[in-house]
Amino acid sequence: MLDFGPFILTLKLSLITTAILFSIGVPIAYWLAYSRHKAKVLVEAVVALPMVLPPSVLGFYLLLAFSPQNAFGAWLSEHMDVQLVFTFQGLVVASTLYSLPFMIQPIQSGFQQLPRSLTEASYTLGKGKMTTLLRVLLPNVRMAIVTGCILAFAHTIGEFGVVLMVGGNIPGETRVASIAIYDEVEAMNYDAAGIYSAILLVFSFIVLATVYLINFNQRKKAEMR
Amino acid sequence: MIEMEVRRKLQGADGELNLNVNVRIGAGELVALYGPTGSGKSSILRMLAGLMLPDEGFIKVRDELWFDHEKKLNIPPQHRDIGMVFQEYSLFPNMTVRGNLEFALGRNEDRHMVEELLDVVELRGLQDRRPALLSGGQKQRVALARALVRKPRLLLLDEPLSALDFGMRGRLQEYIMTCHRRMNLTTILVTHDYPEVLKLSRRILVLASGNLAYDGPPEAFLEQMGNKG
């Protein structure tokens, strides 16, 4: 009987990660899109890092940082009673960092593509920054937000290196689908690995096709204007 | 009503431009701000709206300071008594025609003004449409109506007609005149279309490379230009 535990864990991890990324991604993307501060360049570079770094490098540094033998990990463990190495919470933190660019970049570029005069029109109509963000800007970048959420979700499902470094392979805690596949292959269970892989393949394809369909429809709509 | 003495360095397509303008505009006037592209017309409007800060000087409207460099005073656009119409319409794509107008209402403000303006610019039939499905002229009528929902004293029009074809311009000029008179507005119209100036305004401010080159009736300006040429 096939164990679906890794899939449920993967889905749980992806959903939680996407929810966290959504709540921190929108404000960061807004700041990056509109700030004229020089430090923004550095933040942009940091946000984009997970796109070019091998996941094992990110995972390695996170492992060091989370380890109770080091300052940050020790502080977390003593003052917060939080253990991030080889735990599900640790995976959530690592995944959030790992998928950060996939949420932020689409939303940031969505904001940047909106004409500046929409914001200015809203200001001259007496509305403050918050009202303008909630009622004018966000509704007009909703497709970028949907794209960001789908990409972040899909990217989290596909992660392997970071999870392996930070979480290891503990059933029910950190053994997500991609790790389970690796594990089955190691144990020469090619049938199970094949089924796991096929499920991930089909799922990823559907997710990407959805994103491109959304973009296609958006472009068609824009051309009709 | 408006006293404005402002200076600002601008970066334009032809290099740096020193904008230096001192002007007074009376209540109820409809003044055309005329000049070639890049002469600083829109910048003056944006300074009045609070969307651009002057480097020096002050802006005073009905004895109320909106900007004063020395006193480090700057009233944000939200608290200036203005309505502004942008060249590129700037309607909110996610809202209907009515939604765009109602957005401008404050909390607990009555909707009477929205109803009245929908009639004035004759958009009641299109009130449930999104901006994407409107023609250029219809969009600019919505933008005009939206700018007036808050009953501003000062109406700022930034080349509102430049994207429209000839026939549509004439209609829209009528709407602008109607609103200007009906709501006792002081109106500043930025344009580079001279026939438009002649039709709408009794006073023209001509900007040339950042300075006020002429201030007076439009007909006299034409004569002056004719004599020179």
Q: What is the 3-state secondary structure (H, E, C) of A153-207?
A: HHHHHCCCHHHHHHHCCCCCCCCCHHHHHHHHHHCCCHHHHHHHHHHHHHHHHHH
pLDDT, tens digit (0-9, with 9 covering 90-100), for B102-136? 999 988 787 899 999 999 888 999 999 999 999 98
Res B225: pLDDT: 75
Helices (H) and strands (E) in chain A, counts: 12, 0
Res B84: pLDDT: 96
pLDDT tier for residue A224 given thresholds of 50, 70 and 90? low
Q: What is the C-alpha to C-alpha distance for residues B167 and B159, in angstroms, rounded to an integer?
A: 16
- Give mean pLDDT, residues A46-61: 93
Q: ipTM of the predicted structure?
A: 0.92
Q: Does B132 touch chain A (CB under 8 A)?
A: yes
Nearest CA in chain A to B147: A125
Residues contacting A18, CB < 8 A, separation 6+: A99, A103, A149, A152, A153, A156
Q: What is the C-alpha to C-alpha distance for residues A221 and A210, in angstroms, rounded to an integer?
A: 16
Share above pLDDT 70 across residues of chain A, in percent, rounded to a whole number: 98
Contact A120 B106 (CB under 8 A): no
Q: What is the C-alpha to C-alpha distance for residues B138 and B89, in angstroms, rounded to an integer?
A: 10
Nearest CA in chain B to A128: B78
Is the pLDDT at A14 greater than 90? The verdict is yes
Q: What is the C-alpha to C-alpha distance for residues A28 and A46, in angstroms, rounded to an integer?
A: 12
Is the pLDDT at B176 greater than 80? The verdict is yes
Distances (CA, A) of A48 to A55, A109, B102: 13, 13, 40
pLDDT tier for residue A80 given thresholds of 50, 70 and 90? confident
Res A70: pLDDT: 87
Q: What is the C-alpha to C-alpha distance for residues B168 and A55, in angstroms, rounded to an integer?
A: 59
Determine the distance in angstroms separating the CA of B23 from the nearest CA of chain A, rounded to an integer. Answer: 22
Given B49, B92, B94, which is nearest A124 (Cβ)? B49
Residues contacting A94, CB < 8 A, separation 6+: A58, A59, A62, A162, A163, A166, A167
**Pairing, β B73-74 against β B56-61:** unpaired
Which tokens go with A213?
């369909």
Res B192: pLDDT: 84
Determine the distance in angstroms separating the CA of A111 from the nearest CA of chain B, rounded to an integer. Answer: 14
* pTM score above 0.80: yes
Determine the distance in angstroms separating the CA of B219 from the nearest CA of chain A, rounded to an integer. Answer: 33
Is the pLDDT at A213 greater than 70? The verdict is yes
Q: Does A130 touch chain B (CB under 8 A)?
A: no
pLDDT, tens digit (0-9, with 9 covering 90-100), for A134-166? 999 999 999 899 999 999 999 999 899 999 999
Is the pLDDT at A1 greater than 70? The verdict is no
Res B220: pLDDT: 84
Q: Specify the DSSP class assigned to residue B27.
A: T
Is the pLDDT at A195 greater than 80? The verdict is yes
Which carries the bigger pLDDT value, residue B227 or residue B186?
B186
Q: What is the C-alpha to C-alpha distance for residues B86 and B79, in angstroms, rounded to an integer?
A: 18
Written as one string, the DSSP assignment of B148-205 is: HTT--SEEEEESTTTTS-HHHHHHHHHHHHHHHHHTT-EEEEEES-HHHHHHH-SEEE
Is the pLDDT at A225 greater than 60? The verdict is no
Nearest CA in chain A to B95: A136
Contact A125 B104 (CB under 8 A): yes
Dmax of chain A from CA atoms? 67
Res A140: pLDDT: 94
Res B11: pLDDT: 85
Contacts A–B by Cβ distance under 8 A = 62
**Lowest mean pLDDT, pick from A9-13, A116-120, B9-13:** B9-13
pLDDT, tens digit (0-9, with 9 covering 90-100), for A64-73? 999 988 888 8
Q: Which residue has the tokens 């290099």?
A: B15
Q: Does B104 touch chain A (CB under 8 A)?
A: yes
pLDDT, tens digit (0-9, with 9 covering 90-100), for B131-145? 999 998 899 999 999
Res B198: pLDDT: 86
Which carries the bigger pLDDT value, residue B69 or residue A215?
B69
